Amino acid sequence: MLVSILAVALALAGSPLSASRLASRSSAVVRMTLLKEMTLSDQRVVKVFDSEAGIGEAIVAEVVASATAAIASKGSFSLAIPGGSVVTALKAMPADACDFSKVHVFFCNERIGEWKCYKGALDAFATRCGIPQAQVHRVSEGEPSDAAAKYETLLRSSACVDNTGKVPAVDLVLLGTGDDGHCGSLYPDSEQIKMTGQGKAVLPISEGDKKSIAVSMDFMCAAKKAIVSAATGKRASMVARAVSGEFGPYDCPAGMVRARSTVWFVDSDSVALVGK
């Protein structure tokens, strides 16, 4: 099924704009193929696309749809993103897709002192799309424990974030995965993943020269919607374990993500072992 990213995004958001009017607003209309969609017994959804590029296009469409809906509903949109291939996909974000002055960007992980995720977001889409730099929320300097505490305070005090629950809830969190089952910067059997259930939103990581922060599994699960992406055959075994639920307490963080709405974006290679 071929779909236009922007047309699908506005359809999902309930916008009255027609596909033809939408296409006229931006030249960056791309196409992707959704091969299959399935709903698991725990209500997680798995969407299978034709390629890794198709996953990237679907990520853009989801951001546009979620942003349009949130801005129409409450006047702002809160988005949490990692680095890597997920933020690279956002380079295709049309600059006129929504009211980007109402968008706030937070980070799922960040290396203190390097700020690769922050710089990557600015380069990929935030600057080009006109998101005010003050609304691209950089992690502070300092020791990981201090930086994590400050970032948690920021999340808990931000008007664009739902803080009616025990853990701050952003409108959308985008998550990448690894073939070892890690998700964001939560690695199998790590100290950070074992802190799940403690109600902390942001965790410090200090391992040798690596000083960083990462959002917790509690934060991921509190989100209104989570997109978990996994592409290529090297992740096939992990995807099969994650969607089946057949893993140990902490050895597949990607499989632990249970946001209010959780959707996996995979391709035909990464989903090849599901059900085998």
List, in sequence order, the alpha helices (H) in 75-212. 84-89, 116-121, 127-129, 144-157
The tokens 């960007």 sit on which residue? Answer: 105
Q: In what order do the strands lie in the sheet with 103-107?
A: 2-4, 31-39, 45-49, 262-267, 226-230, 172-176, 77-81, 103-107
What was the pLDDT predicted at 210? 84
- Does 7 have pLDDT greater than 70? no
- Does 9 have pLDDT greater than 80? no
What was the pLDDT predicted at 207? 84
For the stretch 62-74, pLDDT in tens is 999 999 999 999 9
Burial of 106 (0-12, 13-18, 19+ CB in 10 A): buried
143: how many CB neighbours lie within 10 A of its CB?
A: 12
Q: Average the pLDDT over 199-223 and give the result.
A: 95
243: how many CB neighbours lie within 10 A of its CB?
A: 23
- Does 16 have pLDDT greater than 90? no
Distance CA 50, CA 53 (A): 8
- Does 20 have pLDDT greater than 50? no
The residue type of 63 is V
Distance CA 170, CA 77 (A): 8
- Tell me the pLDDT band of 17, cut-offs 50, 70 and 90: very low
For the stretch 231-266, pLDDT in tens is 999 999 999 999 999 999 999 999 999 999 999 999
What was the pLDDT predicted at 275? 86
Question: SS3 of 110, please?
Answer: strand
What was the pLDDT predicted at 29? 41
For the stretch 31-58, pLDDT in tens is 678 999 999 999 999 999 999 999 999 9
Cβ 166 vs Cβ 216: under 8 Å = no
What was the pLDDT predicted at 68? 97
- Does 229 have pLDDT greater than 80? yes
